[in-house]
Amino acid sequence: MQSISTKHLLGIKDLTANDIHLILETAKEFKDVINRPIKKVPSLRDVTIANVFFENSTRTRLSFELAEKRLSADVVNFSASGSSVKKGETLLDTVNNILAMKVDMVVMRHSSPGAPHYLSKHIKANIVNAGDGTHEHPTQALLDAFSMQEKLGDLAGKKVAIIGDILHSRVALSNIFCLQKLGAEVMVCGPNTLLPKYIREIGVKVEHNVQTALQWCDVANVLRIQLERQQIKYFPSLREYSLYFGINKKMLDELNKDIVLMHPGPINRGVELTSDAADSHHSIILDQVENGVAVRMAVLYLLAQQN
């Protein structure tokens, strides 16, 4: 069997195209598993995985926990809000205390970009980055690519528009790296204030008109406005943002082709997407959630083989 080229999953930037193909192929097999009457396999029996979340999460945390349990791993959940972090304990001390209990793998979400990379230099366990600040969210990009492949086949030459708050999004950067490695063309679309200054330098197209972006793309991946990360006002109001950059079903129906609509969640209905668009036949948002479990099973399984 092929093996992945890295001990940790810190970001898509560190993966080769072969690694991505291997993860997506392995995920196909695990998707068959989770659709069987008995959804468990003993692949990670006797492996202990700690989910260490220093930031709020619903989908990602549940998805990882379910993936771990489907693989028969032993799971430990850690939440910073009720822990000694509140008493001033450092990140390294927190994780070393968890590892002293003989944990083999750490799935970590942190508000500081680079936190999993820092940790990977100091501990022996495998680390999976479940989102580090506004930097990367690799498993989200992998499940997005998997969902697109299911719908469109090979992604080489396909056109993907990422629409919304690119500046504060960890999903955007991971998606751009992943799609480029799979041969897709990427466009970002949003108000100037929500696009990173040097975004063109990583080889993406830039557009400020949503209708033009929708007409250009095969897939529209819509991101929410991350108000919790914004210290200043980047646009006058949510109503105005919705007016210029929101997507509704009428806009999708007026296109002269069928496009795929995606969203990493949580959706702010009525802001970036109206309900009739989010629930339309274009949308594969719930498929993304289902595929998240299979892709995370594949990642955990392949990393565990590295020990």
Cβ neighbours of residue 243 closer than 8 Å, sequence gap 6 or more: none
Cβ neighbours of residue 256 closer than 8 Å, sequence gap 6 or more: 215
Q: Which residues pair with 169 in a beta bridge?
A: none
User: Annotated binding residue at 86?
Assistant: no
User: Annotated binding residue at 265?
Assistant: yes
Distance CA 69, CA 40 (A): 8
> What are 37's two structure tokens?
């009457």
User: Annotated binding residue at 140?
Assistant: yes
User: Annotated binding residue at 109?
Assistant: yes
User: Annotated binding residue at 87?
Assistant: yes
> What are 289's two structure tokens?
């959630």
3 state DSSP class of 204: coil
Distance CA 112, CA 276 (A): 36
3 state DSSP class of 75: strand
Distance CA 176, CA 179 (A): 5
The vertex-280 CA angle with 261 and 176, nearest 5°, equals: 5
User: Annotated binding residue at 59?
Assistant: yes
Binding residues for L-aspartate: 87, 170, 224
- Binding-site entries for carbamoyl phosphate: 59-60, 109, 137, 140, 265-266
Binding residues, by number, are 59-60, 87, 109, 137, 140, 170, 224, 265-266
